[in-house]
Amino acid sequence: MIRTIAIDDEPLALQLVTGYIKQTPFLELSGVFDNPLGAMEYLADKRADLIFLDIQMPDLIGTEFVKMLGDNSPKVIFTTAFEKYALEGFRLDAIDYLLKPFGYDEFLVAAKKARRIIELEKKHLATLETNDTFLFLKSEYKIRRINFNDILYIEALKEYVKVYLKNDPKPILSITSMKTLESKLPADKFMRVHRSFIVNLERIEIIERFRIVFGKVYIPVSDQYKEKFQKYLDENFL
């Protein structure tokens, strides 16, 4: 399912596009907003794959809204009554541009185009390449090289993982499974200690009551992994 939000300051237009989204089997309506500022707050901590976005709005026009989202912007299909914005919309890498009034047939063509692009990108969102010292990870529409030595720990969050690095307060967010990522990491350096955590063994400095301490973060070692982790400690204990 493609997580979709709709933004339009006109109630009837918003009702129409949300109705079309609900009618489309591969779209999931996850947010409805009559102004872009409310949508911006939503996107600050929630995910969307696709936005149906009006352009001419009183608080903030749609094109400026997309610019403010920057690299974190979901895919966008503009919906507007003003043809003059089409060129700028496509410069912002919009998937399509629906000129009001539009019917469901036009909407569906644009939605299917979005599905093709989003599904293609998702196939490449996990690890693209790995060797003995680093891996490439797709994050926020960019490909990031991550050195294994820089990783402190990795946390699973539903369909996402967060990779925490030394000297970087902001984790790298990527759509991949913990299992897939674990298979790409060198087993002599990384260990899964919890259903939701993988740690870099070479970065462990403090262990307190079977919790691994990284600054203010305490990572528990669950019962499932305690025996394996204890074996590692015994082998390296003086």
CATH of the domain at 21: 3.40.50.2300
pLDDT greater than 80 at residue 124: no
Structure confidence at residue 191 as a pLDDT band (50, 70, 90): very high
Mean pLDDT of 44-54: 89
Report residue 205 CA to chain centroid gap. Answer: 30
Higher pLDDT, 163 or 195: 163
> For 27-41, 71-85, 165-179, which range has the lowest pLDDT when averaged over its residues?
71-85
Rounded mean pLDDT of the chain? Answer: 87
The per-residue pLDDT for 88 is 62
SS3 102: coil
Structure confidence at residue 174 as a pLDDT band (50, 70, 90): confident
Q: Are residues 56 and 109 in the same domain?
A: yes
The per-residue pLDDT for 126 is 45
Mean pLDDT of 67-88: 76
Q: Which of 58, 53, 112 is nearest to 88 (CA)?
A: 53
Residue percentage of the chain with pLDDT more than 90: 51
Number of domains present in the structure of the chain: 2
Q: Which of 232, 202, 230, 208 is nearest to 220 (CA)?
A: 208
Q: Which domain holds residue 82?
A: 2-122
Report residue 47 CA to chain centroid gap. Answer: 6
Q: Are residues 27 and 116 in the same domain?
A: yes
Q: Which of 194, 157, 165, 197 is nearest to 47 (CA)?
A: 157
Q: Are residues 115 and 160 in the same domain?
A: no
Half-sphere exposure (CA, 13 Å, Cβ side) for 238?
0
Q: Are residues 153 and 170 in the same domain?
A: yes
Structure confidence at residue 71 as a pLDDT band (50, 70, 90): low
Residue entry with tokens 């939605």: 111
Looking at 122, 144, 174, the residue that finishes a domain is 122
Structure letter (DSSP) for residue 227:
H
Mean pLDDT of 163-186: 86
The per-residue pLDDT for 127 is 42
The per-residue pLDDT for 129 is 52
Q: Are residues 14 and 30 in the same domain?
A: yes
Query: Can you give the length of the chain in residues?
Result: 238
Q: Which helix (H) or strand (E) holds 12?
A: helix 11-23
pLDDT greater than 50 at residue 27: yes
Q: Are residues 114 and 143 in the same domain?
A: no
Cα 9 to Cα 6: distance, rounded to the nearest angstrom: 10
